[in-house]
Every structure is written in C-alpha cells, then in structure tokens.
Amino acid sequence: MKKQITDERIIQETRKQNNLGFSILYFGLLFALLYRQYIIKSPISDYLDLAILFFGVTFYLAAKRVSSGLLTNKVNWKKLLPNSIVAAVVFLIINFFNNQYGTIFEALVSGSIFLLLFFGINLIMQYFSSRKNEDILKE
C-alpha cells in the first residue's frame, strides 16, 4: 500500500469552513464594537478588550498582506485618491453626527488630516507590497 497522504479535499473543506468562521467572527466583532460605540454609547473602557482584539487582528492581516505582496502588484494612486476622499467624507459625516466639531474650520482640518493620513498610509502599503512582488521575481 502507498504511503498515506492526508486527504486534500478534507483539508481544503476544513480550511474553507475555518475561513468562513473567521469572517463571521471578525465582522461580528466589528458590529459589536460599532453597536457599543454608536448605539448604546458605552464608555470605551467597557469594551477596550474587544477593540484591542479587533484592531490587533486587523493590523496583523494588513501587515501580512503587505509583507507577502498580496495587497497589490503595483502602486495605483489614481485609484487610491477617490477612495481616500470617500473615506474622509464618511469620517466627517460620522463625526458630524456625533457632534465632534465646534466650527466648520475644525471639520475641514480634521477631514484633511484624515485624508492625508489615509492616502499616505495606503500608498506606503502599496509601495511595500509591490516591492515584495518585484523581489519575488528576482529570486
């Protein structure tokens, strides 16, 4: 009899189920945080542990995507700019409804800083991801 190999179909199916389970957990955690923050308006100390867990996982996933070159093959700032603007608008709307701004000037400054940071961080991530892809080709 040949050497036993682990059934690939079972491994694949198990992985798919684990992936779906993780997605449900991840987005469930996000909705739980949003609910605590915006619906019942709990103080952050009440759910800090969940927030740390959620952001920790998010940063891990982002870092792995970038370091493995899976995020993108090449830097595309033309696509990133409208995405950043939309993100900044959403950020402003949410903060507006939470009465975070005293004046329009404050809102503009806050929105501009968010836009620059969002755009800049994504650009840096795209750069490192594309560089990793170039390194793979050189191996």
Partner 1 sequence: MINRIKLARMELELTQQELADTVGVTRQTIHLIEKGSYNPSLNLCLEICYALNKTLNDLFWKEEDQS
What residues line the site for partner 1 (CB under 8 A)?
1-10
Structure tokens at 133: 């892809």
Helix-, strand-, coil-residue percentages of the chain, each rounded to 5: 80, 0, 20
What minimum distance in Å lies between the beta carbon of 2 and partner 1? 6
Minimum CB distance to partner 1 smaller for 1 or for 104: 1
What minimum distance in Å lies between the beta carbon of 6 and partner 1? 8
Minimum CB distance to partner 1 smaller for 10 or for 104: 10
What minimum distance in Å lies between the beta carbon of 11 and partner 1? 10
Q: How far is CA 21 from CA 3, 17, 24, 33, in A?
A: 32, 6, 5, 18
d(CA 45, CA 95): 20
